[in-house]
């Protein structure tokens, strides 16, 4: 499995503080079946700012320690960027704020509100060839109260990442219920851990994938931690996935050949 959202690097944000703490998270990830992690330290002006070389140096130290332990795990560079007015001027394809230094970036909104012009703001990145992946929209109270804004964004090509602990109930009933809503409306593309520590924000995906499989079927659930994140890391542009105006029923029906084609093809 691939985890595209994880605070695994030591000393850069509110994730682990030491290399040993990072290694403990890596052991837990490997034991859960994760083979690739994108390190996504927060990038938020005034709170968390770091340079590209600083991230690459820390990443190299951690990858060396992981290899020395014999763990079957690779860590790639990335970031979780906050929304701020200058974001368009600091994002560049291949730059340190992009997932695996490619064309996708993980963007986080504040938990209870999104800026008034966010739809146009996100669409402007698509126009310039950069693809936003919204981090855990299921944890955002504004999105939960206005899910209709997500449909046009997904139709335009914005991707949504839901957090494993939301599905398992670890982040409360609203996050659990809204992540189910997103899955059943074909609005969620990736499941990631958003791991920070061993206690309340672990680096694990397998339980969440099993729960997602109950809602959308195993085949589709597995793509959310394999082929979809793989395409993101490779910088492949994804076909726009059509959201479903009417949710899948609670009892999962196997997808038709046409649905599988529409959901799964990359170009
Ligand atoms: Fe995060």
pLDDT per residue, tens digit, the chain (267 aa), is: 999 999 999 999 999 999 999 999 999 999 999 999 999 999 999 999 999 999 999 999 999 999 999 999 999 999 999 998 899 999 999 999 999 999 999 999 987 777 778 888 998 999 999 999 999 999 999 899 999 999 999 999 999 999 999 999 999 999 999 999 999 999 999 999 999 999 889 999 999 999 999 999 999 999 999 999 999 999 998 656 678 776 665 544 445 555 455 455 443
Q: Other CB atoms closer than 10 Å to residue 3's CB: what's the count? A: 29
- The tokens for 155 are 């139709």
Q: Find the 126 Cα to ligand 1 centroid distance in Å.
A: 22
Alpha carbon 223 to its chain centroid, in Å, reads 13
Q: How far is 12 from 44, CA to CA, in rounded Å?
A: 12
Q: What is the reported pLDDT for 113?
A: 74
Q: What is the reported pLDDT for 119?
A: 84
Q: Find the 217 Cα to ligand 1 centroid distance in Å.
A: 26
Q: Find the 13 Cα to ligand 1 centroid distance in Å.
A: 10
Nearby residues for ligand 1 (ion, Cβ within 5 Å): 80, 194
Alpha carbon 247 to its chain centroid, in Å, reads 22
Q: Find the 161 Cα to ligand 1 centroid distance in Å.
A: 11
Q: What is the reported pLDDT for 249?
A: 57
Q: Find the 69 Cα to ligand 1 centroid distance in Å.
A: 26
The DSSP bridge partners found for residue 65 are none
Closest to 262 in 3D by CA, of 220, 221, 225:
220
Q: Any alpha helices (H) in the chain, and if so which ranges?
A: 19-32, 52-68, 87-90, 118-127, 141-145, 150-156, 164-167, 173-184, 206-216, 218-223, 227-234, 257-264
| pTM, full prediction | 0.90
Q: Find the 209 Cα to ligand 1 centroid distance in Å.
A: 19
Closest to 47 in 3D by CA, of 10, 5, 82, 3:
82
- Is the domain 80-264 a CATH 1.20.1600.10 member? no
């Amino acid at each position: 499995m691939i985890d595209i959202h994880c605070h695994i690097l030591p000393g850069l944000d509110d994730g682990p503080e030491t290399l040993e703490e990072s290694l403990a998270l890596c052991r837990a990830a490997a034991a859960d079946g994760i083979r690739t992690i994108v390190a996504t330290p927060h990038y938020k002006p005034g709170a968390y700012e770091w340079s590209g070389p600083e991230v690459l140096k820390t990443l190299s130290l951690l990858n060396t320690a992981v290899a020395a332990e014999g763990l079957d795990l690779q860590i790639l560079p990335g970031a979780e960027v906050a929304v701020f007015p200058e974001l368009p001027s600091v994002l560049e394809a291949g730059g340190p704020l992009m997932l695996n230094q490619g064309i996708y970036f993980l963007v986080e909104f504040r938990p209870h509100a999104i800026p008034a012009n966010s739809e146009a703001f996100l669409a402007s990145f698509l126009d310039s060839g950069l693809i936003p992946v919204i981090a855990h929209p299921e944890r955002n109270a504004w999105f939960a109260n206005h899910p209709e804004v997500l449909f046009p964004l997904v139709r335009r090509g914005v991707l949504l990442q839901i957090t494993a602990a939301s599905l398992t109930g670890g982040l409360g009933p609203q996050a659990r219920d809204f992540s189910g809503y997103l899955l059943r409306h074909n609005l969620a593309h990736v499941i990631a851990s958003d791991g920070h520590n061993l206690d309340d924000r672990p680096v694990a995906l397998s339980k969440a994938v099993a729960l997602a499989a109950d809602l959308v079927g195993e085949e589709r659930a597995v793509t959310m931690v394999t082929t979809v994140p793989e395409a993101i890391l490779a910088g492949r542009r994804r076909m726009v996935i059509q959201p479903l105006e009417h949710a899948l029923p609670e009892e999962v029906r196997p997808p038709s050949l046409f649905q599988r084609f529409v959901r799964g093809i990359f170009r």
